[in-house]
Structure 1
Amino acid sequence: MIAENVPIRSICVYCGSQPGRDPSYMEAGRALGKSIAEHGMRLVYGGGTRGIMGAVASGVLSHGGKVIGIIPEFLMDKEASRHSLGSLTELVVTEDMHQRKHRMFEEADAFVTLPGGIGTLEEIVEIMTWGQLGRHRKPMVFANVNQFWDPMLELLNHMSGQGFIHTSHLVKPLVIDRIEDIIPSIVDAAKTHAEGDPALLSRM
């Protein structure tokens, strides 16, 4: 269960609504869901029941955890099965993507990004931008399954080196290769933040 006095109760997961070509992506989704449930945390995610999204939600629910899905009305039929949505602990249907992203941010205490496409990338970049602007200090994680995020991380380092990430000390995502290390690392990062020492960029 969660350590006392650590303000992590809900984990927001960004990921693809497709399974991807590498089977390890779906396996990572299920494993992360299992870990979230076993640590007594709630999953906050985009409400999809297909692809990696569905794998994460299934991993949580099949191990007794709670899931809140947040999805805009226009994506209900594209990313989800209306029948499967009934198995979620809570479902929030928003008017548009803006409302969806804002509600996901409000409901979450930390953010994990699994492999995904343009939408997944846009979501975590926005959260990093808010961090850079000092709007939050919630832990952020790149789940680097089979080095999926290496090109993104290289780009971030390039941007920083060229002087375009002006408050890089506020953008400190954890980069974690092993799924089983993600939740413990988030808990540790939250403890460190609570003690007033920002978590350092790390690779595990």
Structure 2
Amino acid sequence: MNRGAAATERIAVLLVGLALLVLGAGAAAWERDWIPDAVDRVDASALLDRTDEPWWPWVVGLLGLVLVVLGLRWLLAHARRRSLGRLKLPGTGRGGALEADSGALLDAASAALAEAPGVTARGGRIWRDQHEVVAELRAGLDPGADLDEVADAADRAASVLSASLGPQAPARCRVLLVRGRRWTRRTRVR
């Protein structure tokens, strides 16, 4: 999702949240009778007269269906897996494309990470976060592993990714170290 879409979404969520807050406060005030003669002030007869029309259930049902489809589309847009299968490499021109398989890049970086004693590489993924490529490597860490060697191996893995992506490509490398079922996160930024 780009910044413009994210900003639009945040504004829409803010407006919907404020509208729901106002409606909730109004309903609470009505229930506690803090608004004198509220029943006499609200004239909903035009709307209530339409509910007896034969088309009314169809319009309400269609509106509900449209809202469900919009909600599902919004959820799918946020649940979409952002992993990249292929990466364009620096030096790619308009006439052709230099690409690298992200699985091969992850394998090379994982091999560099697994060189440390007590570390077992467990895969990873590469995705694009706005204008930056993020590589996430997962590795199992034995309880007796030397953390200095693990940090050096993480640096080597980040160097492998950096060399593959090019020095001018904005990139981050995150190494997730796992011991049993608990995850400890260590972030390396280039």
Structure number with the bigger relative contact order (C-alpha 8 A, sep ≥ 6) is 1
TM, length-normalised to structure 1: 0.23
TM, length-normalised to structure 2: 0.24
